[in-house]
Chain A
């Protein structure tokens, strides 16, 4: 017997549910972004969704053209929804649990950008690689 065999229906009590509220919130923030360029984030874990509402939000926002995968201290899945400028960012830990679940309003989510500190470390590594390949230092 699986969980699906237990007949539990969840009756729909939500005349004005959390789903409506969050969609309105997203719309108003997207509007701000168009007007002023202000990016913003919504923490989905702070909202009292039932499983149905959460799935409802996923279905309504859908999937757009871009998907990115981040691999550091666990996976992160980042994709643009059907609505350009609205991104769904989910961070997982190594065990695959969600540690942060965000809606980000931006043209590119901040975490996707290469970080200056990392670029700097990366440059040094690249130079080192070149040194070891050519066996001689490269002039900056």
Chain B
């Protein structure tokens, strides 16, 4: 495999003008959530950047994350970025299949050992020796451990790879875990979301490409530029929350007025993601704009946090039943104790001997 040429060479070959390149860099700055004035610095860095080799492994997943990426709203921009990386293995997107595909992966891993970027979507099942998800007869665990060894960094795409996601939800029948539960000695970026916002995936790739390093991460390994604030922090319905104006059903007056969706179960206050500003479907909007609360898809364990329609202030488990049982138990105990008291009293009364004149006399 030949060394990859720099991006400037490639763009030059394609007849892309400098102005077009600057426009592209302006779009990248927006995508990476960097200040727009950084477009110049991005351009300078990108002209020198070499195309990194990328290996993409898909484990226990629904292909939603790849769908999100390939259906992303700005195909030319994404494809330009994809042009900028050399995607050497992705079993859904690549043309090769079977042994040829596995061979391509082996070759890329050898040729770029220590330098390639490893993208993973899907969780890794560990139960029963990992039999619940295998590729070419090998378990996901086996494949991940092998590929992680030679990776410069790992990008966990989607909530399944980042936190375990749906497969990991109670009762977790396959023993699914996140990438970070297995690989501990490599830098890992978690791009959570179910699916993650496509331009956040490409934004992180672009950042790695531009600066040759991973972006700043929060304590859950998510890039701060996109996950630094909650949906609630940047929600346009926020003034209604602050005024205490809530929609109570999906079709009441409040809902029609666009009031806050907190009482309809919105998890925006506890969810870190860029939906409220980056938005979905080419900037068309995000779920709250469509009148549905946030379900918290970019946070760990969001499937186990109670109903999507239970307000954050309400219990995530059945408290009423517990209270009823306790009430009966408490009342029962009180009655039993009361009876015991009464019995004791009676006994005491019976055992009391009548006072006689003789007693008083003391003989």
Contacts and interface: CB of A to CB of B under 8 A. Distances in A.
Establish whether A and B are touching in the complex (CB under 8 Å): yes
B283 A91 contact: no
Most central of B29, B236, B277 by chain A CB within 10 Å: B236
B277 A47 contact: yes
B21 to A, nearest CB: 9
A9 B35 CA distance: 34
Nearest to A117: B18
B36 interface: yes
B36 A74 contact: no
A55 interface: no
A102 B75 CA distance: 20
Contacts of A40: 37
B117 to A, nearest CB: 23
A34 interface: no
Interface in A88-136: 91, 93-95, 97-102, 110-111, 114-118, 121
Nearest to B33: A46
Interface string A9-38: 111011101100000000000000000000
B81 to A, nearest CB: 12
A98 B282 contact: yes
Interface stretch (B90-98, B175-183, B253-261, B355-363): B253-261
A4 B2 CA distance: 57
A97 B27 CA distance: 11
A46 B75 contact: no
Nearest to B236: A50
B74 A93 contact: yes
Count chain A CB atoms within 10 A of each CB in B24, B27, B277, B278 and give the residue with the most: B27
Contacts of B236: 18, 48-50, 53
Nearest to B257: A11
A99 B77 contact: yes
A118 B17 contact: yes
A7 B256 contact: yes
A46 B16 contact: no
Contacts of B23: 70, 72-73, 76, 91, 100, 111
B277 A46 contact: yes
Contacts of A102: 26, 30, 36
A97 B239 contact: no
Contact of A41 (B31, B36, B277): B36
B24 A73 contact: yes
Contacts of A97: 73-74, 282-283
Interface of B: 16-20, 22-24, 26-27, 29-31, 33, 35-37, 73-77, 80, 234-236, 239-240, 243, 245, 256-259, 276-278, 282-283, 289
Given A116-B18, A118-B19, 10 more contacts: A45-B283, A70-B19, A73-B24, A95-B75, A98-B282, A98-B283, A102-B36, A111-B26, A115-B18, A115-B22
